[in-house]
Amino acid sequence: MQDSPNGNTLGDLYRDWGASLLRFASTLATSPQVAEDLVHDVFLVLQQRLATGERIDNYRAWTITVVRNLAHKERRGAAKLVEMPSTIAAAPAPQHEIIALRGLLSPLTEREQEVLILRMESLSYREIADELGVAVGTVSALVARSLAKLKDVSRKKAQQGGRSEAASR
């Protein structure tokens, strides 16, 4: 199996980042199955790039960028998804977590969702800014705006829940 410059095999990288990448892809893809295909395709592309001798300095950032780009292509109907070789086992998709996350983030714009998910995956503001091609201040503003929206939605739901209980008494 192809080794990365730091000595990890692609299988190691997949095991280390596959689940995290799948959670990110699930927020962008049209279905859980498409999200899995996107993640598999990222590692196929990575394998092809490494085989040609291409140098990739930050594998994590590179894989996130490729997943995002493939998801955008898939939504436009232009992505060509390919089979993942059986040499790298797929991580099971945490479907209930993905569905819950999509529901929680639904009030946010696609960009706000991306930023929060990348932040939840422990990327720094600088790494997120580099990935999205925006300033660090923009990332900070998107995180703050997203959290404010989610807080507002949560507060409204709590108020509605309190009203329902009072009405049922």
Residues 80 and 130 in one domain: no
19 found inside a domain: yes
The phi and psi torsions of 55 (rounded to 5 degrees) equal: -95, 125
b/e burial code for range 97-125 (CB count within 10 A of at least 16 → b): ebeebeeebeebeeebbbbbbbbebebeb
Residues 128 and 78 in one domain: no
Residue pair 27/113 in contact (Cβ under 8 Å)? The answer is yes
Q: What is the pLDDT of residue 88?
A: 43
Q: What is the pLDDT of residue 27?
A: 83
Q: 165: domain CATH number?
A: 1.10.10.10
89 found inside a domain: no
57 found inside a domain: yes
75 found inside a domain: yes
Q: What is the pLDDT of residue 133?
A: 86
33 found inside a domain: yes
Q: What is the pLDDT of residue 125?
A: 86
Q: Among all chains, which residue has been given the structure tokens 């008494």?
A: 169
Q: What is the pLDDT of residue 3?
A: 46
Angstrom distance (rounded) from CA 74 to CA 55: 26
Residues 8 and 43 in one domain: yes
Write down which residue in 52, 84, 116 finishes a domain. Answer: 84
Residue pair 68/118 in contact (Cβ under 8 Å)? The answer is no
Residues 5 and 80 in one domain: yes
150 found inside a domain: yes
Write down which residue in 84, 118, 141 finishes a domain. Answer: 84
Angstrom distance (rounded) from CA 43 to CA 39: 7
How many domains does the structure of the chain reveal? Answer: 2
pLDDT by residue, tens only, the chain of 169 residues: 344 545 567 788 888 888 888 888 888 888 888 888 888 888 888 888 888 888 888 888 888 888 988 888 877 764 454 444 444 444 444 566 666 777 788 888 988 888 888 888 778 888 888 888 889 889 888 988 988 888 888 888 888 876 655 555 5
95 found inside a domain: no
Interhelix angle 10-28/59-75, nearest 10 degrees: 40
Residue 141 lies in domain: 107-169
